Structures are given as structure tokens and as C-alpha cells.
Structure 1
Amino acid sequence: MPAPELPPPPQSSLPDAASHFGTHLLAAAAAHAAEIEASNGRPPRVPSFPTPSAPPFPAPPTVSGAATSPLHPPAAGAPAPSTDLTRILRGPTGLGTESLRLILREEAPVPSQPSAQPAEGKPVPGLYYHPVPEPDPVRVEEVSRRIKSWALDEVALYPEDWEQEFDGFSVGRYMVACHPDAPTIDHLMLATRLMVAENAVDDCYCEDHGGSPIGLGERLLLAHTALDPLHTAEEYQPQWAQSLHADAPRRAYRSAMEYFVRAAGPSQADRLRHDMARLHMGYLAEAAWAQLDHVPEVWEYLAMRQFNNFRPCPTITDTVGGYELPADLHAQAAMQKVIALAGNATTIVNDLYSYTKELDSPGQHLNLPVVIAEREGLSDRDAYLKSVEVHNELMHAFETEAAALAVACPAPNVQRFLRGVAAWVDGNHYWHRTNTYRYTLPDFW
């Protein structure tokens, strides 16, 4: 299978649309954090980092003839970064340095008014989100063409009678909206193949197309070896290699990961494997509840959703953007909290928009409104509205933590990664809102 051609990212500014994606996060969330902390009589909090000794900053590199700085000056009054960050903060990589400078909008974001939305799709009333520009139709068309060719010709992903459902997923529009800074179509395809492969595993192993909680652990374990290769006795290696072609989910995982590994750095590939293992663990918890016909407590459901969620998608935002956030920075507890909150908020978006779709499916599907209604004795409507409030709280927490991290660690690649995660959060909502083929809202208003 040929590797994707990934030319060096252009040394230029991000597209105009990308330059605004996520910029609301740092300006508005900083203000939001300040308001919350001020009400408690405390100054805004920033994450703390340990402070081992470290060498001085390296000389800043030069990109396209422009001097770059490993640190973007923090806001007035912000604390200086702790000395352990001096070892891992580097000048920007990937796109030009101007694209990495954070341009904060003066106005704070407000929950969007329905009148400001395009005609297609209605947002959940009361939901806190940020509207995004319509994704580039040229890119959407090309990604859609390529992903369908990959699904049919390279991995034989689905039979002919699933074609309408595949097209209705609108994955090209989804990924272009979520990754506005991807420098090429090839970069976008890295995320698109993985998204389709993950959806195939969910459908074929867990839910709509023959999925079952019975035996799910074995299926997920064997499929995971397509992402995290088996290293075993020589006699048994060919049998394992052959197993990767045994079904559509394994074929899709194997192929999507091969493309990704060729384009990503080793730490980027390993972080994806880690997050996919988290995802599979969440699948297993939900399957266990299904086998027991058990509705978990609300907090237990939310714990499961921190694993069974979209986390693998925003965690690869740097690979898709054509740069790398160093492993040391990605692994910081504050960064991990930001990514977890992003995954949690976007997954509740899925619960809200897919609510009626799941109610119309056979059996009981656990989602946050269903669990709240069962465990807290609320009506379906009140449980749904409370779920909106839970989402909004998670979104504000995500923005507050990201703003604090941006102040504490003002490196250009950190700023860009945070902006990329925010873009994914916004693009994910855009896709759910506009995908009227899959989703309709309940009549609760």
C-alpha cells in the first residue's frame, strides 16, 4: 500500500478561517476564569509545574528568514513559566511562525442565537457553543472522494447496501470543519481514515451493524493489535498478520494506522495507541452494563464517557496540522486535563444530538439524558435539559483550563495545539448540528 505523500507544510500564515478558530477560547475563557475566581476572592489560577533544574533556552531558530522566539510574551501580570519548561519549550515547527502567534479577539463569545445560523440544522436550544465558518467545499469534495475510494478499494469496508449510510455520515465535511489548519488534503486524510475506522469498529463490534456486548473484549483486543502490532514467536507471526484482514474493522484499523505512522512522529503514534486503548476500555464498560441490563449512576456514566469518547480525535490535531507538540508538553497533567475535558464535552454533544436516533433503535441505549432520567427520577425533558447544563459546565471548564495553560506555558506550539483542540470542539458541534441525515432534535421546547 503506498504511503501518503506529505509535502513539507508551507511556510506561511494559517488560512484566515483557521486563524480565528479557537482564538475565542483564550480571550473569553481567561475572562470567564477571572470572573469565577474573582467571585471566590482569589486571583485566576494557572497550572503549577515542578521545577527541576534545566539548561538555558536554546537560541531561537529561524524559519523563512524570520527570527522566532520559543516563548510568546505572556499577558501582563502573568507568572513566568517554571524552569522545567525551559528544557522542552522549543521554537515553532510546521507552519510559519506568524501562524503560531495567538491573536485574541476583543469580544467575548456568547451562546449563538438561532437567527445567526445557516438554514441547515438547528442547534440544541441553550447549548453553549461557537459557530464556525462553512468548511471549504473544494476540500470537502476531495476528502469525500478519497475516503470513499479508500473504503471501497483499499479496505473493502462496507457492502453495497451500506453506501447511503456511508455517504450520509458526511465525514469529509466533518474532518475539514474540525481541522482548518491542515496544510494538505493528505494531512486531512490521516484523520479521516481513522475516524471512519473507529466508526466501523463501533458499528460492527458494538452497535448498529451486528455489534454485541457478547465477546466484545476479544474482538477489541484483536483489532487493537492492528494499531499496536503483535511481536511474538516467528511461528505464529504469519497467523496474526493474516488476521488483520479478517473483517472490515481490522482492515480499516490496519490501513488507517499504517498511513498515520508514516506521517507521525513516534511519540504522536504512541499517544494515539494509548488513547485508542482508553476508547476500547470505555466500550467494554458500556458492554458490561448492557449484559447486566444495568443503568449506572450518573457519575459512573460520566466516568465511562471520559474513555468512550472522541479523545483520540483532538489528540492528533498536531499531526494533522503538520507539526508536533513535544511529548513532554503533551503529557503534562494540565494538558491532559484540557484534552480530557474537550473529549468529555464533545461526547455529551453526541449524546444530545443522537438522543432521538438512539431512542428509535432496538433495545436501550445509554446516553446522559437517559441515565439522568433513570437515576434522578426526572422526566425525559428535564433530564435532557439538565444534560445541556452538564455539557455547558464541561465546555466552560475546558475553556478555563485551556486559558490557564496558555498563560502558564506560552510556547507557540502549545498555543497552536490548544487552538487546534478548540477548533476540533467547534467543528464537532458543527457536524452534529448540520448532519440532518443522522440527527433530529427531540420536541422539548
Structure 2
Amino acid sequence: MHESVVKAESGHVFSGPTGLGTSAARLVRAEPPPSEGSAERSAIRVPPLHCPDAVRDDPALGEEVNDRLVAWAAEVGLFSGRLERLRSHQFGRLFMLAHPDCDDPDRLLAAARCGLAEWAVDDHWVDEGDDTTPELLGPRLALTHAVVDPVRLPARYMAQFEQVVEREPVLRAFRSALGHLSGIASPTQVARLRHELAVMFVGYSQEAQWRSSGRTPAVWEYLLHRYENAFFPCMVLIDPIGGYELPAHEFADPRVRRTYLYAATANVLLNDLYSMHKEDPTDTNLPNLIAAEERCTLQQAVDRAALIHDELMYTIEAEAAVLSAAGSPQLRRFLTGLWDWMGGSKEWHATSPRYNSPAAQ
């Protein structure tokens, strides 16, 4: 474990051992096993997190994007019979909060369509849907990837594939979302999204294996999973929604990539924390796995998961400061966009009825 001391532009000094999990590892682990039942889960408190606040909140803009997003969902057939619940979750507000450098509802809608298509995989094929059998997820994701990175089959077989796409709302949603994005993003930026979606699909398949086998992963394995199944596809759209393009050599720089991956991972761990109230006690998330592995109470596990989140955030903040000092104006804007995205996402998670209203769950 190396020692690092970096002074960020904000004036903070970050020091001590770095790396995923080192903060949580410093905790004393002599607690009793967790208690059972829903009462404990209802009383869970998410501790203050090291995460920025939202830069801007424009309710009218958020509502405009949300209305357009729900209309699009109806058009492609997503969330049939659940559109009012979808509206209540305020996904349009999420993308308004997460992209404060964009005031154009059409550009924000492009990001929201992609995000909702990604969420629909969970909501249609994993949690609800007509058949959520885990063994079906792999073949479904293969079809989805064939839409995202368009397949070219011999003509006599292409028609059969198109019939499948026409019957499946999630496939239609991805095709529509990528088509709209292509109108505002460069081919390189669209290709970046395709790559991040493929990585996310690997993570989805890993989780499906846990479900089908009934196997509980170790905490380290789950953290690796979250390094793949995170908010990468949403965050990779920061520059096209902002109306600029991060140069290829900086996007591919391993130091930039690491900071970006940490940001997406930290934010999906925040999702784990805020979604605790709506999830089943047997669901696979970081607090549940820490509680089982370390035989601590669920609240203690939530506190430890928060420390892991915060450790990542301090690392992101320090490394982004170094990169910003030496990088291009576009890189500085992109790294600022990462930070702003996390702040907007935190605000949405803390306020959206998706996680804060029993009636909407």
C-alpha cells in the first residue's frame, strides 16, 4: 500500500493509504451478527457522504425533460401499464441535475433516453417483466448488443432478427436512443458509449449467474462487479451532452480512465446505499454482503459501505486535481462534469420517489 499526499485545487489535502477498501479495513470487526426483519431495514440511516451537492436545480427544465422522456417510453413500449409510476421517478430531473452545463432539453433528453433504456434492462428483465428467469438474461443481452453495435446478418436471416426487435420494447428503446444520440454526438462519442454498454452487459451477466446459482459473492467480488456494472454509460455522455469532445488521447489515458471508472463506481455504491429501503433483504448489494461477511448489523454495514464510497471520492478528487492541472481545457471541463454528475445524481437519489416513496416502488 502506497502513501500519497496530494493537494487538490479545492485546498483539501488527501493523505494516507489509498485503494479500494482500505478505509473499511481499518474498522474494528468485533460486532454481533446482524438482526433479522424489516424493522431494522426501515430504520437504516445513510450517513453523510463525501460527495458534492448539485450545481443547479431547474425544476421546470427537469419537468420538461421528464414529460418528453415518458412520452418516448410510451412510443417505444417501455414500462407499459407503469408509465405514471415511471413519471413519478423523475428520471428527467436526474439528467437535468447531472448535466448542469446543458440547458437544452433536446440534448438532455438524448442522455435520458440512453439512461432509461439501460434502467429498463433491470426493470423489465431482472426485477419485474413477464419472465425474469436469470438464465434468459444472457441471450437477451446478446440481442441487445446486436442492436447497440448493429449486427449485419445475411438478408434472409436479418428479417428474423428484426421481428424479434419489433416485439421487444427494450431492444426498440436501445435502437431509438442510440439513433437520437447520433444526431448530437460524434461517431467516436457514440462508439465510446457502445463500449461502456458492453462492459455493463458483462456485469449484468455476472449478477444473473449469482441469481441462478443462489451463490452469494464475497465483498471483494461484488466490488469488482460494481467496477463493471456502474454508471459508465451515463457518465461517458458528459462531453457530447455538454457540446464538446474530450480528445481521444486524453480519454484513453489510463490515469483519466481510472478516475472516470472510480467516479462511476463510487456513484453506483451511492445507489446501493440509497436503494436499501426498497430492496429485499436477500438482494445482492454492498451493505447486505458486508453484513453477512463481517457479521455486523445492517447499519454498521451501511456505515462501512459509506466509508468505501468516501475513500473512492477522496481519491477521485485528488487525482482529478492533478490531471486538471496538466490537461487540456476539454479535460478540465470533463473532470468538472464528472464531479457535477455525481453531485446531481446524489441529489436525485436522495429525493426521487423511486427510492424515497413506498407507493412508487
Question: Does 2:263 align with 1:281?
Answer: no
Alpha-carbon distance in 1 for matches of 2:356, 2:51: 18
Question: Does 2:188 align with 1:267?
Answer: yes
The amino acid of 2:338's aligned partner reads V
Measured against aligned partners, the alpha-carbon deviations of 1:234-267 in whole angstroms (never above 9, x if no partner) come to 3222222332222111111110011112221111
Shift of 1:141: 2.0
Q: Among 74, 78, 89, which residue is 1:157 paired with?
A: 78
CA change 1:330–1:284 in 2 (3 A) is: same
* Percentage of identical aligned residues: 35
> Which structure: greater helix fraction?
2
Q: Which residue in 2 is equivalent to 1:427? A: 344
Kept in 2, the 8 Å contact 1:282–1:308? The answer is yes
CA change 1:134–1:403 in 2 (3 A) is: closer
Structure 1 unaligned blocks of 5 or more: 1-24, 41-121
Kept in 2, the 8 Å contact 1:200–1:248? The answer is no
Kept in 2, the 8 Å contact 1:244–1:254? The answer is no
Shift of 1:133: 4.6
Question: Does 2:64 align with 1:142?
Answer: yes
Alpha-carbon distance in 2 for matches of 1:333, 1:246: 41
Q: Which residue in 2 is equivalent to 1:302? A: 223
Question: Does 2:326 align with 1:408?
Answer: yes
Provide the aligned C-alpha RMSD in A. Answer: 2.2
Q: Which residue in 2 is equivalent to 1:316? A: 237
Secondary structure class of the residue paired with 2:182: helix
Q: Which residue in 2 is equivalent to 1:418? A: 335
Q: Among 229, 232, 236, which residue is 2:153 paired with?
A: 232
Measured against aligned partners, the alpha-carbon deviations of 1:210-229 in whole angstroms (never above 9, x if no partner) come to 43312210001101211110
Q: Which residue in 1 is equivalent to 2:49? A: 127
Q: Which residue in 2 is equivalent to 1:74? A: none
Kept in 1, the 8 Å contact 2:54–2:98? The answer is no
TM-score (norm 2): 0.85
Alpha-carbon distance in 1 for matches of 2:357, 2:262: 25
Kept in 1, the 8 Å contact 2:55–2:340? The answer is no
Measured against aligned partners, the alpha-carbon deviations of 1:385-431 in whole angstroms (never above 9, x if no partner) come to 1111111111111111211211232x111111111111111111010
Alpha-carbon distance in 2 for matches of 1:226, 1:123: 41
Shift of 1:270: 0.8
Alpha-carbon distance in 1 for matches of 2:88, 2:356: 11
Q: Which residue in 2 is equivalent to 1:15? A: none
Shift of 1:358: 0.5
Q: Which residue in 1 is equivalent to 2:12? A: 31
Shift of 1:376: 1.7
Task: Find the structure with the greater CA-based Rg.
Answer: 1
CA change 1:158–1:126 in 2 (3 A) is: closer
Shift of 1:134: 5.0
Q: Among 355, 360, 369, which residue is 2:287 paired with?
A: 369
CA change 1:290–1:238 in 2 (3 A) is: same
Secondary structure class of the residue paired with 1:225: helix
Kept in 1, the 8 Å contact 2:125–2:132? The answer is yes
Measured against aligned partners, the alpha-carbon deviations of 1:126-148 in whole angstroms (never above 9, x if no partner) come to 32122225521221121112111
